[in-house]
Amino acid sequence: MKIDMAYGSGGRQTSDLIHEVFLKNFDNKILCKMEDAAVLQVNPKIAYTTDSFVVTPMFFKGGDIGKVAVCGTVNDLLVMGAMPKYLTAGFIIEEGVEIDTIDRIAKSMSLAAKEAKVRIVAGDTKVIEGKGGVYINTSGIGEIRRAGVSISNCRLGDVILLSGNLGEHHASIMSHRMGIENSIQSDCAPLRSIVKNLMENNIKIHCMRDVTRGGLATVLSEAAASSSCAIEIYEKSLPISDQVRGFCDILGLDPLYMANEGKLIAAVPKDQAGKALALMRRSKYGENAQVIGKIKEGSGVTMITSLNGSRIIDILYGEGLPRIC
């Protein structure tokens, strides 16, 4: 069965879609009340964010638009020192999409939400004319567990950790679009375990950011500018799988500018760097974590290359890869 305009009518078919797809997959007490708004119990200080997802193709190795829609918003909350609690999900569906496809996406969102320990408590569906695309907006609320974690709070002497390999989401999406056969999987994942372990073990995290569109180069440049400091990274320490490295070599891509959906950077005091690295590596999705650099006086981002040269790293200019998330 395909979605047609009647599924966006607000009538019978909309109700069927909500019950047979969304309530079935997102099943929880708050959502199932079907009120006009979810009523939530939260701690006084919350982090609140929203993001829209338009990735194409909708399904790819390692994930799909639903998984990205949950993980993207969850990770934005986590890197603010917040534990994600509630999500909303808004779907804009173009005519012609199979209901089974929506069900598959919703199932994937449900799995990711379970892993991230969030509940999807409100939602919306609209149907528009088109060619079978699906677009999802998620917003999320997380309870602040650690105040002051901020892109503007990197401090002199801090060490920068990266939670794992670069470029996998980007390479996976690009492979699909170009019809290149390989086994590169998107790294799309909720980073709850990494953040929880760092916070519960009293690591004094000054700054965290998930490394998404624009890649590591862009995130580091933003951190250096916001914190009025310089960042030095070491090419030798950057974790990149052989497969992604090969992929980049063939296509002339720079892993520093490639998108990820399950990686973060953290700036922590130098004397806690070893402990923080060990904690990351013990956490789910953190096994390839590395210390990649440090905060210095000055401005901008510099990379010490494998040949011991020095390269200035700027933010991404122009379009990286459209509809990557």
Task: Write the interaction track for Mg ion spanning residues 254-293; mark x where CB under 5 A is met and - where it is not.
Answer: ----------------------------------------
* Alpha-helix residue ranges (DSSP H) falling in the chain: 12-17, 24-26, 29-32, 65-78, 99-116, 168-178, 192-200, 215-226, 242-251, 273-282
The one-letter amino acid at 92: I
* Residue 76 in the binding site for Mg ion (CB under 5 A): yes
Closer residue to Mg ion in complex, CB, 102/208: 208
Rounded Cα gap, residues 108 and 125, in angstroms = 17
Q: Which lies closer to Mg ion via its Cβ, residue 18 or residue 169?
A: 169
Q: Tell me how far, at minimum, the Cβ of 158 lies from Mg ion, in Å.
A: 19
From 69-77, 163-171, 233-241, 309-317, give the range in contact with Mg ion by CB under 5 A: 69-77
Nearer to Mg ion, 95 or 261 (CB): 261
Determine contact, residues 31/47, Cβ cutoff 8 Å: no
CB of 299 to Mg ion, least distance (A): 22
- Least distance between Mg ion and beta carbon 278 (Å): 25
CA 30 vs CA 36, 89, 111, 171: distances in Å: 11, 14, 18, 38
Subset of 159-218 contacting Mg ion (CB under 5 A): 210
Q: Based on CB atoms, which residue is closest to Mg ion, 16 or 222?
A: 222
Phi-psi region of 132 (alpha: psi -120 to 50; beta: other; left: phi over 0): left
Query: How many of the other CB atoms lie within 10 Å of CB of 166?
Result: 29
Cβ proximity to Mg ion, 168 vs 210, nearer residue: 210
The residue range among 16-24, 71-79, 120-128, 147-155 that interacts with Mg ion, by the rule CB under 5 A, is 71-79
Structure-block tokens of residue 280: 């990351």
State the residues that interact with Mg ion by CB under 5 A. 76, 210
